[in-house]
């Protein structure tokens, strides 16, 4: 069998950065290169009913025993547009000794800045070279799923039910579930392999909304601007000061929600501001949306309706759809314990495809893929964490007899 590490290194060699400005599916053509590779690999493994549609790949491993549920495993192919995912040059640190890891351009991966590094002393770690992200989010998940399926295929004497796997495009820009065919997938329940460090088991996530604010100004020569110029950027600067300073991502944790200023682009003539709103409670998200609406309405009185506002919901807390199906969580927890992994049950301070899929009718909590520091040049993943994630998948499939 090919190692999960070899699979991972092959997958990250494909640039798959998603593009939020594109309206196609997938949003970037190069995601199709990886999806084509995965289709070929599924064929070589002898999986059944392999499909590829607009970048979505689905395949199925036949059952070897009766009285098992049909379980799904899902990972996404795209990487975040926050940092380049082109020409990734991974660095494998053997038997990490707890010291600073030197990257390029004077960058360092230091346990002082990233204390979780201390958890992996003595292990082999894959890092970036300091110029790109690594792509463990979520190509580690893909590698773990493919490795688990390969193991079960080559050990067909092991009893398990039918296994459904899927790889999606554009998760990083919130579109991963847009065209996911729940009916064709047909799983009784599923797991996304898209979590962080080893042990994470997540079935609660933010309720989420996105805000776009456009401020229309009036530009005239500054020497003759009295009572005539309307400076859109100054209005925007006023607006952002009205948001609660202690409810930002850097000031919140655990179950605390936030307002996150994502971008501020302005001139005198026009200013565009984007926020994301996050809250674990539905009523909390509605309160935040109402705050934005009232803030803009009040400023429009002062600035003669210069501000346009758009608020759209993104996803909801999957807990509402999973809380009555605790057996799905129990199964994953037992599967982790069997391979020596301590489950870390915690809320996701973000969202996954699983949140949207749960509301589409497929209960889908999230399991660790093993990486750290996603979306940036300090991303890293311990090899042992990927191997344990693969083992968790295998255990889930083989321990599920009689579960429905």
Domain C-terminal end among 273, 292, 315: 315
For residue 174, what pLDDT is reported? 85
- Whole-angstrom distance, CA of residue 297 vs CA of residue 96: 55
The verdict on whether 97 is a catalytic residue reads no
Question: Residue 403 falls within a domain, yes or no?
Answer: no
The verdict on 172 and 78 lying in the same domain is yes
Q: Is residue 145 part of a domain?
A: yes
Residue 130: both structure tokens together: 């300091």
Q: By residue range, what is the domain housing residue 120?
A: 4-204+317-398
Q: Of 251, 280, 315, which residue is a domain's last?
A: 315
Q: Are residues 223 and 237 in the same domain?
A: yes
**pTM assigned to the model:** 0.88
Q: Phi/psi of residue 263, each to 5°?
A: -155, 150
Region of 227 please: left (phi>0), alpha (psi -120 to 50) or beta: left
**How much is the pLDDT for 348?**
87
Residue 6 is a catalytic residue = no
Claim to verify: residue 55 and residue 134 sit in the same structural domain: yes
pLDDT for 396: 98
Tokens of 351: 């969202």
In the set 138, 150, 171, 202, the catalytic residue is: 171
Alpha-carbon Rg for the chain, nearest whole angstrom, is 23
Task: Give me the phi and psi of 199, to 5 degrees please.
Answer: 100, -15
Q: How many domains does the chain have?
A: 2
Q: How many CB atoms lie within 10 A of CB 161?
A: 23
- Final residue of a domain: which of 293, 315, 337? 315
Is the torsion defined by CA of 353, 170, 26, 265 positive or negative? positive
Q: Which residues of the chain have pLDDT under 50?
A: none
Q: Which of 15, 41, 78, 138 is catalytic?
A: 78
Q: Are 28 and 90 in contact (CB under 8 A)?
A: no
Point out which residues pair with 307 in neighbouring strands. 215
* 165 lies in the same domain as 114: yes
**Residue 127, in any domain of the structure:** yes
Task: Assess if residue 404 is contained within a domain.
Answer: no
At 20 the pLDDT is 87
- Beta strands across the sheet bearing 163-168: 48-53, 56-61, 163-168, 71-76, 189-195, 366-368, 200-202, 344-345
- Residue 389: Cβ within 10 Å count: 30
């Amino acid at each position: 069998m090919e190692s999960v590490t070899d699979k991972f290194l092959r997958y990250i060699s494909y640039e798959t950065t998603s593009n939020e400005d594109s309206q196609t599916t997938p949003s970037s053509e190069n995601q199709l290169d990886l999806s084509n590779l995965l289709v070929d690999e599924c064929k070589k493994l002898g999986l059944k009913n392999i499909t590829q549609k607009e970048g979505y790949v689905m395949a199925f491993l036949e059952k070897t025993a009766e009285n098992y549920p049909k379980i799904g495993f899902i990972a996404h192919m795209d990487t975040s547009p926050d940092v380049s995912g082109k020409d990734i040059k991974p660095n494998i640190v053997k038997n990490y000794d707890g010291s600073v890891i030197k990257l390029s351009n004077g960058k360092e991966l230091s346990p002082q800045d990233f204390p979780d590094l201390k958890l992996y002393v003595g292990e082999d770690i894959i890092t970036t070279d300091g110029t790109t992200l690594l792509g463990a989010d979520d190509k580690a998940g893909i590698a773990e799923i493919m490795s688990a399926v390969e193991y079960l295929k080559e050990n067909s004497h092991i009893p398990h039910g039918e296994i459904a796997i899927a790889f999606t495009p554009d998760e990083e820009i919130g579109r991963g579930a847009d065209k996911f065919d729940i009916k064709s997938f047909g799983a009784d329940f599923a797991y996304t392999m898209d979590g962080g460090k080893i042990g994470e088991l997540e079935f609660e996530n933010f309720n989420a909304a996105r805000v776009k604010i456009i401020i229309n100004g009036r530009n005239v020569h500054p020497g003759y601007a009295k009572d005539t110029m309307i400076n859109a950027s100054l209005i925007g600067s006023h607006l952002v000061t009205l948001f609660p300073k202690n409810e930002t991502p850097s000031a919140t944790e655990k179950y605390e929600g936030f307002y996150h200023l994502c971008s501020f682009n302005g001139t005198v003539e026009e200013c565009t501001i984007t926020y994301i709103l996050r809250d674990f409670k539905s009523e909390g998200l509605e309160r935040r949306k109402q705050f934005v609406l009232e803030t803009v309405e009040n400023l429009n009185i002062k600035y003669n309706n210069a501000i346009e506002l758009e608020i759209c919901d993104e996803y909801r807390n999957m807990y509402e759809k999973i809380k009555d199906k605790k057996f799905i969580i129990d199964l994953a927890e037992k599967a982790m314990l069997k391979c020596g992994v301590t489950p870390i049950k915690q809320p996701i301070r973000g969202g996954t495809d699983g949140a949207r899929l749960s509301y589409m009718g497929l209960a889908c909590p999230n399991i660790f893929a093993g990486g750290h520091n996603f979306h940036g040049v300090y991303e890293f993943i311990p090899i042992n964490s990927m191997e344990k994630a693969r083992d968790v998948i295998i255990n889930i499939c083989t321990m599920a007899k009689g579960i429905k």
